Amino acid sequence: MIDYARQRQAMVDGQIRVNDVTDARILAAMLELPREKFVPAARSAIAYIDEDIPLRATAAGKPARYLMKPMVLAKLVQALSLTASDHVLDVGCASGYSAALLGRLAGSVVALEEDGELVPIATRLLASLGATKVKIVSGPLAPGWSQEGPYDAILLEGSVEIVPAALTDSLKDGGRLAAVVGSGRSAKAMIYLRTGNVVSARPVFDAASPPLPGFKAPREFMF
């Protein structure tokens, strides 16, 4: 029988702590959350490896989706500097692991997912964990979910080519957005900060993550 508690400890010690994640709340939450439940049963044995875990392959016009690598997720969440009263939007929550993590750190979480197969999975898993601070909503990812904004923090669960204005417009004054922007070796984890009507951005670490659907940059017209 697989000792998942030991695998969680190994993940935190070997992937999270050693990559400068020092927020004790994040470490404690990742030690407790059963990541193996958020991946397909056939992949539960590898739920804690230092990789993005496929949740579904590309099929019937639907893009592949992944559970983000633990280290990248932990560092993005730490960069958001969440407080216990923050209202957070989780964009592309997939099977709900990230939303469960955020729900242990923030005051309230809106978890947005557009995939009709993943929404009920996330809903069931979060309910089973008693994640009462998390609300699952269904809709396109790129526009965000302004109905419940503005937000203190927004997390994007995958790499993007652009961060739409609709998302930064949903931030409160002083609000932060964390995302992996770019692809391949040029990708960076970025923090966007809204100050009044101005949004600034800064890189926080090198990162790579599978793409989040719907965030491609417009292609320039070529003569």
* Angle between helices 24-32 and 70-79 in degrees, nearest 10: 140
Give the closest residue to 92 by CA, choosing from 105, 102, 79, 82: 102
Q: Is residue 45 part of a domain?
A: no
Distance between CA atoms of residues 187 and 164, nearest Å: 17
| DSSP character string of 195-206 | ETTEEEEEEEEE
* Number of compact structural domains in the chain: 1
Kindly report the CATH number assigned to the domain that includes residue 161: 3.40.50.150
Give the closest residue to 121 by CA, choosing from 101, 140, 97, 88: 97
Which amino acid is it at 221? F
Give the domain extent around 164.
52-206
Q: Is residue 8 part of a domain?
A: no
Q: Is residue 46 part of a domain?
A: no
Q: Is residue 80 part of a domain?
A: yes
Q: Is residue 34 part of a domain?
A: no
Beta-carbon contacts of residue 4 (< 8 Å; ≥ 6 apart):
34, 36, 47, 48
Backbone angles phi, psi at 152, to 5 degrees: -75, -30
Residues 115, 161, 106: CA angle, nearest 5 degrees: 60
Distance between CA atoms of residues 149 and 158, nearest Å: 21
Per-residue pLDDT of the chain (223 residues; tens, 9 = 90+): 899 999 999 999 999 999 999 999 999 999 999 999 999 999 999 999 999 999 987 767 788 899 999 999 999 999 999 999 999 999 999 999 999 999 999 999 999 999 999 999 999 999 999 999 999 999 999 999 999 999 999 999 999 999 999 999 999 999 999 999 998 778 999 999 999 999 999 999 999 899 999 998 877 544 4
Q: Is residue 1 part of a domain?
A: no
Q: Is residue 24 part of a domain?
A: no
* Angle between helices 24-32 and 4-11 in degrees, nearest 10: 160
Q: Is residue 18 part of a domain?
A: no
Give the closest residue to 97 by CA, choosing from 63, 131, 144, 64: 131
HEC states along 143-171? CCCHHHCCEEEEEEEEEECCCCHHHHCCE
pTM of the model: 0.95
